């Protein structure tokens, strides 16, 4: 399964995107959102009163205390509640669609896909996910002349809390939705949904942690339930070049 929109599809914003220069409110990137969620969850687990939390956040400023991981070692599981995931997925979709969050001012514009066969408007700002035990459904709202506004869904079967998977997910080869849409745009739609999910999971793993080389942590396992998405971050393995005789 590819994680990018196929190169045969011409992708372009359907509305002008203003630059971020001079603007203070652009779209938050998935990494920034995931970091905020992970830190907020840690504060909740610590059971610190709101006044102490406020003083701690002020003292930390833009930094977080990090403990680099040795190669191949795992960090504590990170669970993102469904409500927080509802904010992370649209941000991940912005990146997956080829837009730069730092240069996009809300509302996020739709993206127009064009081929010789026709055009499809993808409403990036409305992309969302629904969770169940062991599965996540990415909904892609789209519009074309033949259907008007419709929803297309892509279901990924992942690990569950009882049986997490090592970052592997399976899906059908076609999305679910109006036939004229899913038959003509199956590959790029699945690719967009998959890329969105990969970016969201990667943001969770990389938030607030790295290895001794300064690289972001990666996902060792993924588990989904109706309550949220859980990833186990880990440091990449280090492979040393062998000597030749």
What's the chain's Rg over C-alpha atoms? 20
Q: Which two tokens stand for residue 47?
A: 């059971």
pTM: 0.77
Residue 4 lies in a domain: no
- The predicted pLDDT at position 126 comes to 96
Measured on CA atoms in the order 19, 24, 26, 28, is the torsion positive or negative?
positive
In a domain, 2, yes or no: no
Tell me whether residue 241 is in a domain. Answer: no
For the chain, list residues with pLDDT below 50.
Answer: 1-8, 15-24, 62-63, 65, 243, 245
In a domain, 169, yes or no: yes
Q: What is the pLDDT of residue 214?
A: 76
Assigned domain for 1 exists: no
pLDDT score of 240: 59
In a domain, 70, yes or no: yes
Query: Does the residue 3 lie in any domain?
Result: no
Contact 120, 185 (CB under 8 A): yes
Domains in the chain: how many in total? 1
The answer for residues whose C-beta is within 8 angstroms of residue 206's C-beta and 6 or more apart is 31, 34, 216, 217, 218, 233
Which range marks the domain in which residue 88 is found?
10-234
């Amino acid at each position: 399964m590819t994680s990018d929109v196929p190169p045969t599809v011409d992708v372009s914003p359907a509305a002008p995107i203003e630059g971020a220069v001079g603007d203070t409110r652009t779209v938050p990137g998935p990494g920034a959102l995931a970091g905020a969620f992970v830190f907020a969850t840690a504060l909740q687990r610590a059971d610190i009163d709101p006044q102490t939390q406020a003083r701690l956040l002020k003292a930390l400023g833009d930094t977080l205390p990090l403990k680099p991981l040795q190669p191949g070692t795992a960090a504590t599981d990170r669970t993102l509640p469904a409500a927080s995931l509802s904010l992370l997925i649209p941000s991940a979709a912005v990146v997956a669609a080829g837009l730069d969050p730092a240069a996009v001012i809300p509302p996020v514009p739709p993206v127009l896909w064009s081929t010789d066969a026709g055009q499809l408007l993808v409403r990036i700002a409305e992309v969302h996910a629904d969770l169940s035990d062991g599965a996540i459904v990415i909904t892609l709202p789209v519009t074309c002349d033949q259907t008007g506004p419709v929803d297309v869904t892509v279901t990924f079967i992942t690990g569950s809390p009882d049986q997490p998977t090592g970052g592997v997910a399976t899906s059908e080869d076609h999305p679910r939705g109006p036939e004229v849409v899913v038959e003509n745009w199956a590959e790029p739609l699945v690719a967009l949904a998959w890329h969105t999910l990969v970016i969201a999971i990667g943001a969770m793993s990389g938030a607030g942690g790295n290895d001794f080389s300064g690289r972001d942590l990666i996902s060792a396992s993924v588990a989904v339930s109706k309550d949220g998405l859980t990833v186990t971050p880990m440091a990449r393995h280090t492979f040393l070049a062998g000597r030749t005789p």
